[in-house]
Amino acid sequence: MVVEALVKKIITKQEAKNFIDKMIANGWRCDVETYREILAKIEIK
């Protein structure tokens, strides 16, 4: 959803990164590889 919002220009790259970090801070868990892949997708868009 975050990447989709970024593609639709609803949020900026920085907002997308902040949202992912807030999700993790609030208990969402992912492994390091998944986190890296998410950030890479954000940077590409």
Where along the chain do its domains lie? 2-44
What is the Cα Rg of the chain in Å?
A: 10
Q: What is the pLDDT of residue 40?
A: 95
The crossing angle, in degrees rounded to 10, of helices 32-44 and 13-25 is: 160
pLDDT at 45: 74
Phi, psi of 24 (to 5 degrees): -65, -45
The sign of the torsion formed by the CA atoms of 27, 19, 34, 8 equals: positive
Whole-prediction pTM: 0.83
pLDDT digits (tens, 9 = 90+) for 1-45: 998 999 999 999 999 999 999 999 999 999 999 999 999 999 987
Contact present, 45 and 14 (Cβ < 8 Å) = no
* CA distance from start to end of the chain: 13
